[in-house]
């Protein structure tokens, strides 16, 4: 029996994207294709060609930043030198860590080891204070686990066992190339796995981190120091920070409370071996080709990609990772331009106006809460396309002369790390951009109450001059309103117009909002996908933003003289087109705060009355949802 194309009324995603998915091919060095991924690939191809041309001398560097980035690109691409050096740069780097004998010696050298960026039993950084975002504070969290999430360590998680076996085999092969004895190699590996398993018992899961206001737990310096046990926190911070942090923002209080179980004089050898092995494996990306291939085995298993990126792609991505903002400015000016920047800014302002109307007409918000929400919209900062100039830190990122690639990367990373720590005594810089201009993405920052729309996302199918206004609003319009909605999702709603965590709600309104949030959790929780069941709690913030974004974009589109609902909903589905390897899908179900693409395309239209009138969706159709089950928040 011949296959038939699904009806829109039964499966919007498959009706729009099914034929494409049948023939779409995922490149061997990639984990997915379609939608965002295709645009990102096109951007990468353009910039790789530009880097190659500048490196070859056939094109002049457009600015000093690009020139410096090209130096890093050329060093990364010099596999003759990398192959000749082999594993030696990593062994030389690891020597100071290997020489530390015990916890007493570690305390004496902790500042130097942290400055050298070796893995630590906790992570410290400087970030805006959530309750006063004009000032920076020192923040402390636990280390990462080898597996993507703590849930992978459950005894019945077969995927976790499978991945850890791959990681273990990879680590064993890399350790075999060091100067450690066979007995030491085995001991280092066993200790690493044991220390990692212990970390997993004490740190938050991705679901817990998704509720990010709960990461705000200020404690006094003395409270934190006491919980760190025999680690000399006072000496460490005195040597690494520009001032003593009287208050420390603890991201995971349980981890800190249980820290001495993980790290003490007895467990120090296991920590040291864990740090050695993790740093060794991280270093493989900057060593010989054989080590780069071997050291990428585990990450390819996570994503399902059969092949590593090509050498030129690897070199480009490394250069881009350090010089992303100036590269994004170059991309924006070269491939986007000021006219398009002005067009999309106008579109964002139009969407904010729609949002104000929707808030004003809300049938469940009280007037005082509406007034505060509209003030928050009025104060929202728009960062469109690309910044006018690169941040000052990029002028400091100078590629050292005559250094191997690993040393070069560590030197640049140290400059960035030092720049972060020095912010402790400086006011928060609200002009910083969260994303570079060539990233195919967008974001909202609750601590700055700003939205960032990089130039690279402003392409078809999201936005194009030859698409109709209805199509553009179903694409970029919904994405824009999605980011605006993040100011009012379960996390963003707890921050005011200045980005401070502050309750601006009337109590009854917030109680009802929490009920609606729970309804959104329930609407997605347990939905089956090819890779498993969705976790409604993990993905709720993005789903609230999708719901608000689609509704606001639809209202804007309906005001058009030539509004076409079919075009609007079809393009909404088209932008979520994705074909991904099963391994990546499984990982995203565990750690990604976004719903799987097909659920994003299909679930939110069902909450809107216009979906049913546009496509004549009736009870019994696959995309029908009873009126009392439809959720409207914003």
The residue-averaged pLDDT of 394-404 equals 97
CA distance 167 to 185: 15
The residue-averaged pLDDT of 183-195 equals 98
- Residue 592, sorted as left (phi over 0), alpha (psi -120 to 50) or beta, turns out to be beta
In three-state form (DSSP H/G/I as H, E/B as E, the rest C), the secondary structure along 533-591 is ECCCCCCHHHHHHHHHHHHHHHHHHHCCCCCCHHHHHHHHHHCCCCEECHHHHHHHHHH
Give the pLDDT score at 3: 61
pLDDT per position as a tens digit, 568-607: 999 999 999 999 999 999 999 999 999 999 999 999 999 9
User: Percentage of the chain with pLDDT > 90?
Assistant: 95
Residue 202 banded pLDDT, cuts 50, 70, 90 = very high
Could you tell me if 487 and 498 are in contact, meaning their C-beta atoms sit under 8 angstroms apart? no
Q: Taking all residues of the chain, what is their mean pLDDT, rounded to a whole number?
A: 96
Give the pLDDT score at 1: 41
Residue 434 banded pLDDT, cuts 50, 70, 90 = very high
Residue 2 banded pLDDT, cuts 50, 70, 90 = very low
pLDDT per position as a tens digit, 314-328: 999 999 999 999 999
Extract long-range pairs of 616-619: CB within 8 Å, 24+ residues apart. Answer: 616/9, 617/9, 618/9
Residue 274 banded pLDDT, cuts 50, 70, 90 = very high
CA distance 103 to 116: 18
CA distance 419 to 99: 28
Half-sphere exposure of residue 565, counting CA atoms within 13 Å on the CB side? Answer: 14
CA distance 584 to 148: 11
pLDDT per position as a tens digit, 94-150: 999 999 999 999 999 999 999 999 999 999 999 999 999 999 999 999 999 999 999
- What does pTM read for this prediction? 0.94
Q: Which secondary structure element, helix H or strand E, spans residue 223, and what is its range?
A: helix 221-227
User: Percentage of the chain with pLDDT > 70?
Assistant: 100
List the catalytic residues.
483, 546
pLDDT per position as a tens digit, 41-90: 999 999 999 999 999 999 999 999 999 999 999 999 999 999 999 999 99
pLDDT per position as a tens digit, 454-478: 999 988 999 888 899 999 999 999 9
What the block records as the tokens of 379 is 């104060």
Q: Which secondary structure element, helix H or strand E, spans residue 280, and what is its range?
A: helix 268-283
CA distance 406 to 391: 25
CA distance 81 to 560: 60
The residue-averaged pLDDT of 506-530 equals 96
Looking up tokens 């699904």 gives 6
């Amino acid at each position: 029996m011949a296959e038939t194309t699904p009806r829109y009324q039964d499966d919007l995603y498959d009706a729009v994207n099914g034929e494409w998915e049948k023939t779409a091919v995922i490149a061997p060095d990639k984990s997915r294709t379609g939608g965002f991924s295709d645009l990102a690939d096109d951007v990468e191809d353009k910039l790789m060609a530009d880097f190659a041309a500048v490196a070859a001398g056939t094109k002049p560097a457009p600015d000093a930043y690009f020139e410096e980035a090209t130096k890093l690109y050329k060093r990364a691409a010099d596999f003759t030198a990398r192959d000749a050096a082999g594993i030696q740069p990593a062994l030389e780097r690891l020597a100071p860590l290997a020489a530390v004998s015990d916890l007493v010696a570690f305390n004496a050298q902790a500042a130097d080891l942290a400055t050298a960026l070796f893995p630590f039993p906790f992570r410290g950084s400087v970030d805006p204070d959530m309750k006063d975002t004009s000032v920076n504070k020192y923040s402390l969290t636990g280390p990462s686990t080898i597996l993507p999430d703590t849930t992978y360590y459950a005894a019945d998680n077969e995927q976790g066992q499978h991945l850890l076996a791959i990681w273990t085999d990879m680590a064993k092969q890399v350790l075999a190339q060091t100067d450690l004895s066979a007995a030491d190699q085995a001991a280092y590996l066993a200790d690493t796995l044991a220390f990692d398993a212990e970390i997993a018992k004490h740190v938050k899961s991705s679901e817990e981190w998704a509720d990010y206001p709960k990461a705000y737990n200020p404690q006094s310096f003395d409270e934190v120091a006491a919980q760190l046990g025999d680690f000399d926190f006072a000496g460490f911070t005195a040597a690494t920070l520009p001032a003593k942090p009287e208050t420390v923002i603890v991201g995971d209080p349980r981890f800190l409370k249980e820290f001495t179980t993980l790290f003490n004089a007895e467990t120090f050898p296991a920590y040291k071996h864990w740090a050695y092995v993790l740093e060794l494996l991280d270093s493989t990306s900057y060593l010989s080709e054989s080590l780069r291939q071997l050291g990428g085995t585990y990450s390819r298993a996570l994503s399902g990609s059969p092949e590593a990126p090509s050498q030129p792609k690897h070199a480009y991505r490394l250069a881009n990772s350090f010089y992303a903002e100036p590269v994004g400015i170059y991309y924006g000016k070269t491939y986007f331009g000021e006219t398009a920047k002005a067009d999309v800014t106008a579109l964002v302002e139009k969407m904010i106006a729609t949002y104000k109307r929707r808030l004003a007409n809300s049938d469940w918000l009280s007037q005082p809460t509406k007034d505060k929400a509209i003030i928050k919209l009025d104060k929202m900062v728009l960062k469109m396309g690309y910044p006018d100039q690169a941040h000052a830190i990029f002028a400091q990122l100078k590629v050292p002369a005559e250094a191997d690639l690993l040393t070069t990367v560590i030197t640049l990373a140290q400059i960035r790390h030092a720049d972060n720590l020095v912010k402790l005594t400086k006011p928060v810089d609200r002009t910083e951009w969260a994303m570079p201009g060539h990233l195919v993405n967008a974001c909202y920052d609750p601590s700055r109450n700003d939205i960032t729309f990089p130039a690279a996302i402003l392409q078809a199918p999201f936005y194009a001059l030859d698409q109709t206004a209805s199509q553009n609003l179903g694409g970029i319009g919904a994405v824009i309103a999605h980011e605006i909605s993040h100011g009012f999702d379960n996390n963003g709603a707890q921050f005011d117009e200045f980005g401070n965590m502050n309750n601006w709600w009337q109590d009854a309104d917030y109680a009802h909002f929490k009920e609606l949030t729970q309804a959104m959790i329930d609407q997605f929780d347990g939905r089956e996908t090819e890779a498993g069941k969705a976790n409604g709690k993990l993905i709720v913030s993005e789903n609230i933003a999708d719901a608000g974004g689609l509704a606001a974009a639809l209202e804007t589109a309906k005001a058009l003289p030539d509004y076409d609902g079919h075009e609007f909903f079809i393009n909404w589905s088209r932008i979520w087109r994705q074909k991904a390897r099963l391994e990546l899908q499984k990982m995203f179900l565990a750690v990604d705060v976004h719903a799987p693409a097909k659920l994003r395309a299909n679930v939110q239209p069902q909450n809107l009355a216009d979906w049913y009138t546009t496509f004549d969706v009736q009870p019994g159709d696959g995309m029908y949802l009873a009126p009392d089950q439809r959720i409207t928040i914003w």
